[in-house]
Chain A
Amino acid sequence: MSVDEKYDAACELLYRLDPTKVKTHLQNLIALEPEIAEGLLSSIDIPLTIKKDTDANNKEFLCCDYNRDIDSHRSPWSNQYFPELSAEDLKESPFPSEPLRELEVACNNSFELYRDLYYEGGYTSTYLWDVDESTDFAGVILFKKAESDDSKWDSIHVISATHDEEGMEVTYNVTTTVILHLENLSKEQQLSLSGNLTRENSKTVKLQNVSTVEQLVPAHSSSLGSMIEDIESKLRSMLEIVYFEKTLDIYNVLRERNDDSTKLQKEQHSELIENFQKL
């Protein structure tokens, strides 16, 4: 079997197995076939972790594979890696170019505001990186809210922004995954609802009256802002339907009441339909 076939089989398995154990399964699958490690680690989303930026009053920032270098993560606040990397390693570490860093700072500021309005708490971090020495860029916008071990939300938006040749318009592509974990463990009954949904979106925006870098920053940050706001609103509704309606629908076909009162109702109902059809 080729490495590609094994990679596909591993991805399929990760879409079947218990999402609360995704980290263990990821490690296991990599142990079975080390060659699929890189592909799996960059395509399978796992819950975000939190670190503190000691150069920015211990403000928390979110960590994932996209802001990682060796075992350190770059903070969007001070633009430094934590734990600190050696001068030697740091030479190779990725940082956004100066104009892109400016946009990164602006996005972090506006998403802080968004986080406050929608999450009323939690954490956010945005990381951007340059693409091919052009004005195009890519990045990831992250949110995490955990009320306790019983309810946790992680949203991961992987974005790319591509300009057309004339520089008149820009197309944003966004792949969003929300990982939502809810559980209710009481002595008499345990219940858990856990997993993730992924959706892709894209939008093309005209760049009107935008000619300087100073104008590009607010143009990009507000386009990304409204796009993320729309996507999260839609996904939140989908999550609500899947978690609280679809799963209960499945339960209701597993155990369905056929006792006399419902049988009677069904009979009356079909009788009613028959009578209507006769009319």
Chain B
Amino acid sequence: MSEFEKIVRDIVFDSPPEEISLVYDNLQVLSDGQSKQQIASIIQEFNEKHRVPAAKGEERYLVSEYNKSGSKYFDPVNKVLFAVDHITREASDIEEYTSEDATQVQSDLYDELSKYVSNFFPDTAVFNVFKIPESDQYAIIVVSNKKSLGDFWTGYWLSEYVYDVDGDTISGEVSVDAHYFEDGNVRFKSTASLESAQTDSPIVSIKQFENEFEKNLINKFQYMNETQFKGLRRRLPVTRAKINWGQGIGNYRLGRDAAQGA
């Protein structure tokens, strides 16, 4: 891997997922527009890894290595085959997908997942169930992405699980990545893993795990604010008054000096 490719990869893979097209523009400037194809292919890799949704009108489709077919992607449940512009994230060239039918397990998981997502995520959330090639496993994926660049924020939710039909087990991970950038750069990230667990109802297990994730998240926020943040800098000194910076400054004693009777 060239030094250039390594650097571009570091930058792309550290970007807020909803800001990739802006990162692409900056990288174009920094590389004098000389490496468009190379940068675009790293972004494609990033999009597949993050299961980024591609849109065509109201329709939104996930891309991943599981639903790739040549240069296109397929959605077996909705029976479409589509191409994706990885910079704009637009889907195009949509055809009917006929090579393979969704399995019964896949359709059932999809229907149940659909109910869960409509109850716990905004209408724009995208989900799917892909068969993992040459296995008895299914990838269950939910993506919820939102942004308002004018209000200086973007956010990305990705949860993904592997359901093993033979063993009736499920494992996976949730990750949340939010970016706020008005006069600054603040990043909030949280992840949690679901260790392989027996289940007779994978979607119920996912719902329980994600509700737990949310509960822990809110508790941790509270702890960070009330304990960690408050421990760094006080709102006001113990005296509850601002410092008298005039002639009176000499009347203050350093706590340490005072304690030592200095």
- Judge: A and B partners, yes or no: yes
Interface segment, B14-22, B44-52, B89-97? B14-22
Most buried by A among B3, B185, B242, B256: B185
Docked complex Cα distance between A267 and B185 (Å): 38
Contact of A16 among B23, B178, B234 (CB under 8 A): B23
Given contacts A182-B224, A189-B190, A226-B243, contact A147 B231 (CB under 8 A): yes
Query: Which residues does chain A contribute within 8 Å of B247, judged by CB atoms?
Result: 218
- Binary CB contact string for chain A from 256 to 267 against chain B (1 if under 8 A, 0 otherwise): 111100000000
Query: Which residues does chain A contribute within 8 Å of B249, judged by CB atoms?
Result: 110, 113, 218, 222, 225
Query: Which residues does chain A contribute within 8 Å of B156, judged by CB atoms?
Result: 254
Q: Which of A101-120 contact B (CB under 8 A)?
A: 110, 112-114, 116-120
Is residue A163 contacting chain B, with contact meaning CB distance below 8 A? no
Do residues B221 and A248 form an inter-chain contact, with CB atoms below 8 A?
yes
Classify chain A's interface size.
35 or more
Query: Which residues does chain A contribute within 8 Å of B36, judged by CB atoms?
Result: none
Instruction: Determine the residue in chain B with the shortest Cβ distance to A253.
Output: B146
Interface segment, A17-25, A56-64, A67-75? A17-25
Q: Which of B199-237 contact A (CB under 8 A)?
A: 210, 213-214, 216-218, 220-221, 223-225, 228-229, 231-235, 237
Do residues B22 and A256 form an inter-chain contact, with CB atoms below 8 A?
no
Do residues A236 and B233 form an inter-chain contact, with CB atoms below 8 A?
yes
Most buried by B among A20, A189, A198: A189
Least Cβ–Cβ distance between B231 and chain A, in angstroms? 5
Docked complex Cα distance between A226 and B255 (Å): 20
Is residue B70 contacting chain A, with contact meaning CB distance below 8 A? no
Describe A's contact surface by its main secondary structure: helix
Instruction: Determine the residue in chain A with the shortest Cβ distance to B189.
Output: A192
Do residues B183 and A199 form an inter-chain contact, with CB atoms below 8 A?
yes
Is residue B260 contacting chain A, with contact meaning CB distance below 8 A? no
- Binary CB contact string for chain A from 194 to 206 against chain B (1 if under 8 A, 0 otherwise): 1111110000000
Given contacts A16-B19, A192-B189, contact A147 B232 (CB under 8 A): yes
Do residues A14 and B29 form an inter-chain contact, with CB atoms below 8 A?
no
Query: Which residues does chain B contribute within 8 Å of A147, judged by CB atoms?
Result: 228, 231-232
Is residue A132 contacting chain B, with contact meaning CB distance below 8 A? no
Contact of B30 among A9, A17, A116 (CB under 8 A): A9
Docked complex Cα distance between A184 and B26 (Å): 32
Instruction: Determine the residue in chain B with the shortest Cβ distance to A16.
Output: B19
Q: Which of A140-196 contact B (CB under 8 A)?
A: 145, 147, 150-153, 180, 182, 184, 188-196
Do residues A145 and B232 form an inter-chain contact, with CB atoms below 8 A?
yes
Is residue B7 contacting chain A, with contact meaning CB distance below 8 A? yes
- Binary CB contact string for chain B from 87 to 124 against chain A (1 if under 8 A, 0 otherwise): 00000000000000000000000000000001111100
Do residues A153 and B232 form an inter-chain contact, with CB atoms below 8 A?
yes
Is residue B191 contacting chain A, with contact meaning CB distance below 8 A? yes
Do residues B187 and A182 form an inter-chain contact, with CB atoms below 8 A?
no
Contact of B224 among A9, A20, A28, A191 (CB under 8 A): A191
Query: Which residues does chain A contribute within 8 Å of B31, judged by CB atoms?
Result: 32
Do residues B186 and A120 form an inter-chain contact, with CB atoms below 8 A?
no
Query: Which residues does chain A contribute within 8 Å of B15, judged by CB atoms?
Result: 16-17
Contact of B157 among A20, A28, A198, A255 (CB under 8 A): A255
Is residue A276 contacting chain B, with contact meaning CB distance below 8 A? no
Contact of A117 among B176, B223, B238 (CB under 8 A): B238
| Chain B interface residues (CB < 8 Å from chain A) | 3-4, 7, 10-11, 14-16, 19, 22-23, 25-27, 29-33, 118-122, 144-146, 153-157, 176, 178-192, 210, 213-214, 216-218, 220-221, 223-225, 228-229, 231-235, 237-239, 242-243, 245-247, 249, 252, 254-256
Closest 4 CB pairs of A and B: A195-B186, A197-B184, A117-B237, A9-B29
Knowing that A117-B234, A191-B189, A255-B120 touch, tell me 20 more A-B residue pairs with CB under 8 angstroms. Answer: A12-B22, A15-B185, A16-B179, A21-B14, A113-B254, A117-B237, A117-B255, A147-B231, A189-B192, A190-B190, A194-B187, A196-B185, A197-B186, A232-B233, A242-B186, A247-B178, A247-B186, A250-B180, A251-B155, A256-B120
For this complex, 14 residue pairs linking A to B, each with C-beta atoms less than 8 Å apart, are A5-B29, A15-B185, A25-B10, A113-B249, A151-B232, A189-B217, A191-B217, A193-B224, A223-B245, A248-B218, A250-B178, A250-B188, A254-B157, A254-B178
| Chain A interface residues (CB < 8 Å from chain B) | 1, 5-6, 8-10, 12-21, 24-25, 28-29, 31-33, 110, 112-114, 116-120, 145, 147, 150-153, 180, 182, 184, 188-199, 218, 222-223, 225-226, 229, 232-233, 236, 239-240, 242-244, 246-248, 250-251, 253-259
